[in-house]
Amino acid sequence: MPISSESKKPRGLGPFDFGGGSGVITGAASGIGRAIAMNLAGRGNDLALVDRDRSGLDAVRAELTRQYPDSVISTHVVDLAQPTDFDDLATAVAAVHPRVSLLINNAGVALNGTVDEISMADLDWVLAINLRAPIAMTKSFLPHLQRESGSYIVNVSSLYGLVAPAGQSAYAASKFGIRGFTLALQSELIPRGIGVSVVHPGGIATNIARNSRTGSLLDPEEAQRRRAGFARFLTMPPERAAAQIVDAVAHRRERVIITRTAVLVDVISRLMPVNHRHYLARQLSKPR
C-alpha cells in the first residue's frame, strides 16, 4: 500500500515553476515547515519563513544560508493566534520578495479533550491558529499570488480533517474547517490559474505532541497521560512528509494523504461513513 494518496493535477495547468518566485511558509521554525523550507531552497526558491519562535527561525535561516548562499531568505516573527488580517506581514514579505508565487499554510497546534473537557478559551486558541490564520493569510497574500502566473496555495489539514475520533472535538473542528475552506478555494481559484492543495498528514514526528494542549478542565496528571498517548502515533520523519507535499505542488495534486494509516483510515471512512468510528476507537485503544 502506498504511504500517500494524491489526486490528479487539474487540467490546463502545467507543472509548478520552482525558482520562479518566492515561497511563504508558516510554522517554518521546526517540523514539517522546516523540512519544506529545506526542500524548496534546494529547488531554487527564495523563502519567507514565518513562525512565533524567533530562535528557531534564526537557526533555520542560518542553515539555509549556509547550504544555499545565493538564496534570499527572510524571517518574520508572527503569532498566528492573534486576531489580525496579516496585511502588514504580506507587505513586509513583499518588500523583500516582490514575486510571491507559493503560500504554504503549514502552522498548526493540537488540542486534546472531549467537548466537556475544553474551555472556550481552548477552543478559540486552536481555531485561531488552525483555521482563522490560514484564511487570513490567504486573503492577505492572494493579491500578490494573483500577479504570478501559475502560483500555488497549500493548506495543511490533518488525518483528523477526514475523521473525528473521541477526544478531538475542537482539533477536528479546526481541521475539517480548513479542509472545507480549501475545497471552496479550489473551486474559486483553480479556474483562475492558482493551484490549491489540501494535505492530510497522519502521524508525523514533529513537536506537535510536545507542544499540544489538553483541555484546561482536565487534571494535570490526566493531561500528561493524554499527551504521551498522542505522541506514540507520530512516527514518520517530517522530511518524508515535506517531500510528498512539495511533490504534490510540483504536479499540482489537489489532495494529499500522508502515511499508510491515514490512507487506510480515509478508505474505511468512505466505505463506512458512520460505523468507521468503531474501528477508530479500537485502533486508538491498542497499546504500542
Question: Rounded distance, CA 115 to CA 96, Å?
Answer: 43
Catalytic status, residue 68: no
| Strand spans (E) along the chain | 4-6, 22-26, 46-51, 73-77, 100-105, 111-112, 152-156, 195-201, 213-214, 255-258
CA dihedral 288, 158, 79, 121 (to 10 degrees): -80
User: Residues 82, 186: contact at Cβ < 8 Å?
Assistant: no
What's CA 119's distance to the chain center, in Å?
A: 24
Give the amino acid at 240.
R
CA distances from 143 to 33, 96, 146, 170, 190 (A): 23, 16, 5, 31, 15
User: Residues 89, 26: contact at Cβ < 8 Å?
Assistant: no
Alpha-carbon Rg for the chain in angstroms = 18
Catalytic residue among 68, 152, 160, 171: 171
Question: Rounded distance, CA 67 to CA 121, Å?
Answer: 42
- Which residues are catalytic, by number? 171
